[in-house]
Amino acid sequence: MINIREVLLLILLLYGTTLSYSSDSHWCSEPMVIKNGLNNNTVYNLCHGKDGFIWLSTDRGISRYDGFRFRDYPLILKVDSLSIPLTQAVVFLKETSDGLFYAQLCQGGIVCFDKEKEKYLPFCFDRPFKLRDVLDFCWNDGVLYLATSRGLFRAEVVRKGGDKGEFISCTLGVEPLVKGKVTSLCAGGKTNLYVSVDRKKVLHYNTATKKVSLIKEYDVVNRLFLQNGYLWICRL
């Protein structure tokens, strides 16, 4: 029997770090089966799904591994019907209670993936808002928070259908909870959010009291992680 952990570790060691670039206008959700292995150059993250499969964030979208083969779901974007389709890199995935995957895009942006219907669902905001302004996200106590170049926003999302297909309707809070360019975000407990602002300041936001406090300021903050009750700050 194939050892999934050993195979995935081998994948991470063998594949390089090539990035891909794209625009964010039109979507294509047709899956592609790869019988001979993972058809990507870069694996950014792994997610163990509730269905028992291993889901991979790659430079071509999302891939699923069942212990025997990979199934690729390329995320293809194009500016218009005449342009050449380009694949979009997915940095990480987060599965929600309704079975949807929320995916953070490498060049900024967010998209959902329905693993049952095997298709991507685009985000539509309730007001003019560039998709690429979304730099990170997290779920905390059933609420979606978006880290954007305009600040930290609380968001309400609803799955809807229309003439052009299903999409995720996103209603943003009127004012940002934290101002500035929020580049990284993580949550701890029901009331604690930790954000990186302008790649220098690490702030704490309490969702209950709505108070913002400075933890520390660095030259460059790259990423925030919360593990086993500790806040890990990745910096240059």
DSSP string, the chain: ---HHHHHHHHHHH---------SSEEE---EEESSS---S-EEEEEE-TTS-EEEEETTEEEEE-SS-EEEEE-EEESSTTSPPEE--EEEEEE-TTSEEEEEETTS-EEEEETTTTEEE-EEESSS--GGGEEEEEEETTEEEEEETTEEEEEEEEEEEETTEEEEEEEE-SS-SB-S-EEEEEEETTTEEEEEETTTEEEEEETTT--EEEEEE-S-EEEEEEETTEEEEEE-
pLDDT band at 8 (very low <50, low <70, confident <90, very high): low
Distance (Å, rounded) from C-alpha 144 to C-alpha 141? 9
State the average pLDDT for the chain: 83
pLDDT band at 88 (very low <50, low <70, confident <90, very high): confident
Distance (Å, rounded) from C-alpha 21 to C-alpha 78? 11
Q: What are phi and psi of 131, to 5 degrees?
A: -60, -40
Greater confidence (181 vs 40) lies with 181
> What pTM does this model have?
0.80
Distance (Å, rounded) from C-alpha 38 to C-alpha 13? 13
Q: Is the pLDDT of residue 24 over 60?
A: no
Q: How far apart are the first and last CA of the chain?
A: 42
Looking at residues 184-207, what average pLDDT do you find?
95
Instruction: Write down the pLDDT at residue 189.
Output: 86
Task: Identify whether the C-beta of residue 74 lies closer than 8 Å to the C-beta of residue 85.
Answer: no
Task: Identify whether the C-beta of residue 114 lies closer than 8 Å to the C-beta of residue 84.
Answer: no
Q: Is the pLDDT of residue 221 over 50?
A: yes
| Among 128, 131, 140, 147, residue whose Cα is nearest residue 27 | 131
Looking at residues 31-45, what average pLDDT do you find?
61
Q: Is the pLDDT of residue 79 over 60?
A: no
Distance (Å, rounded) from C-alpha 32 to C-alpha 134? 27
Pairing verdict, β 61-65 and 26-28:
unpaired
| Residue 193 β-bridge partners | 187, 205
| Among 79, 71, 204, 189, residue whose Cα is nearest residue 140 | 189
